[in-house]
């Protein structure tokens, strides 16, 4: 087993599932366990200024070993796993020399990872895969990123002949809830720019993501005994369905791809005759189309309130993140250098917009331009998640090559 895969297997066994409904940072206490382990490992490697702050951010510095002035580069990964699927008692399976066939994940559940359902598996014949046991997610999002950054640091410390400028690293809580980086101290981190290791398959390089809002919807009804309901009862659940169905069905996530945005009925937190509460996610890469979606949602509420009476539906738009492209474009050298690093390593860069968000989006608007690099995983946030060991090794190589290229500038 390689150094990066050993680290990864160690990290995924720690439950760091975050919680959308928690008001604390971190949103779950278990994230502290991994944070303390990473703090200890950074100290053992010999990094300087290793800190674990009161909000569960782990940061450290690898000082430059050259005299010339070079940019300070940051590398980041998040510690939490998705709140939407269990990350408890992860039991990773290691499949060596994958033969291209079905991989049994859980015989009792009759669950298999099949190339018929997941054709990308065919790209990894002969490689070593790490999968779930079918009962939890794996946690490659983003414990692969943690392992890759730590392994790159280890290499540089063991090879003093490898020249580099000052390197900053940060391991953050609650990326999956979108809450963590609100508390990230960009000023004290003091990097000129950074990269998140939080992407999917080999070659992914992303500097464009969705504009994103959450819409908190409340629908008020009128509850009376159904035997005396005629002309009086207003069922908030049915009114909510009417409201939701005013939105274009073709703009739901299951019917969209590429740069197409969507309205997503994420969850319903309360449903009764008297009151229904739900949360919609609004997404679009294009800022004008995104604004149109916001306006459309408000117009639908206006229609329902005209039909059933003022205050029947209320819509509260909560900003999640914005497209980082606008912030990255003035410093495109950070994308071009990452692209060059991949090409020099024989990796074809796959530059495409993220159909989601990343810590880099918020960090970029906070003043730290941060595109996203691949970490190597597939099928995140569920029991079919897997990652090839060789993909993690390539991510380590890309980190080192980016650093090398900047040391030569």
Taking every pair of Cα atoms in the chain, the longest distance, rounded to a whole number of angstroms, is 84
Q: Catalytic residue at 84? A: no
Which one from 174, 175, 208, 284 is the annotated catalytic residue?
175
Please report how the helices 333-344 and 389-408 are oriented relative to each other, as an axis angle in degrees rounded to 10: 120
Q: Whole-angstrom Cα distance, residue 371 to residue 207?
A: 5
Which one from 80, 142, 176, 359 is the annotated catalytic residue?
80
Q: Whole-angstrom Cα distance, residue 232 to residue 250?
A: 34
Residue partners of 56: CB distance under 8 A and separation at least 6: 25, 26, 31, 32, 35, 79, 173, 180
DSSP 8-state class, residue 122: G
Range list of β-strands (E), 81-185:
93-95, 103-106, 111-113, 129-131, 167-172
363: closest CA among 94, 74, 14?
74
Q: Is 379 left (phi over 0), alpha (psi -120 to 50) or beta?
A: left
173: closest CA among 211, 213, 212, 146?
146
Contact 321, 361 (CB under 8 A): yes
Q: Catalytic residue at 359? A: no
Catalytically annotated residues: 80, 175
């Amino acid at each position: 087993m390689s150094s990066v895969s050993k680290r990864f297997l160690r990290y995924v066994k720690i439950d760091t599932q975050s919680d959308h409904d928690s008001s604390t940072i971190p949103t779950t206490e278990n994230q502290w366990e991994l944070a303390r382990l990473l703090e200890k490992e950074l100290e053992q490697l010999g990094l300087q200024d290793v800190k674990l702050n009161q909000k569960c951010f782990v940061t450290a510095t690898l000082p430059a070993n050259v005299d010339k002035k070079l940019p300070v580069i940051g590398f980041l990964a998040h510690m939490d796993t998705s709140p939407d699927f269990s990350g408890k008692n992860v039991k990773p399976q290691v499949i060596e020399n994958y033969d291209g066939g079905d991989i049994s994940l859980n015989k009792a559940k009759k669950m298999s990872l099949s190339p018929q359902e997941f054709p990308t598996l065919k790209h990894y014949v002969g490689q070593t895969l790490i999968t779930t046991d079918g009962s939890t997610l794996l946690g490659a999002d983003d414990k692969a990123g943690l392992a890759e950054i730590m392994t790159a640091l280890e290499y540089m410390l063991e090879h003093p002949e490898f020249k580099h400028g000052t390197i900053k690293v940060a391991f953050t809580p609650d990326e999956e809830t979108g809450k963590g980086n609100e508390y990230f101290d960009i000023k004290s981190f003091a990097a000129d720019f950074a990269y998140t290791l939080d992407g999917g398959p080999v070659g992914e390089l992303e500097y464009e993501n969705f504009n994103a809002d959450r819409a908190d919807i409340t629908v008020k009804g009128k509850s009376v005994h159904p035997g005396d309901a005629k002309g009086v009862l207003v069922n908030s659940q049915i009114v909510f369905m009417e409201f939701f169905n005013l939105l274009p069905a073709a703009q739901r996530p299951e019917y969209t791809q590429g740069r197409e945005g969507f309205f997503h009925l994420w969850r319903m937190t309360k449903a009764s005759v008297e009151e229904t509460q739900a949360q919609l996610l609004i997404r679009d890469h294009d800022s004008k189309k995104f604004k149109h979606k916001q306006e459309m949602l408000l117009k639908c509420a206006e229609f329902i309130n005209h039909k059933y009476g003022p205050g029947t539906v209320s819509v509260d738009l909560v900003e999640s993140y914005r497209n980082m492209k606008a912030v990255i474009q003035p410093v495109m050298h950070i994308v071009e250098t990452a692209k060059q690093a991949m090409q020099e390593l024989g990796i074809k860069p796959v530059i495409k917009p993220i159909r989601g968000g990343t810590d880099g989006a918020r960090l970029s608007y906070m003043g730290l331009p941060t595109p996203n690099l691949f970490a190597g995983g597939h099928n995140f946030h569920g029991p079919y998640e897997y990652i090839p060991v060789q993909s993690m090794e390539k991510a380590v190589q890309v980190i080192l090559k980016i650093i090398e290229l900047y040391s030569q500038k």
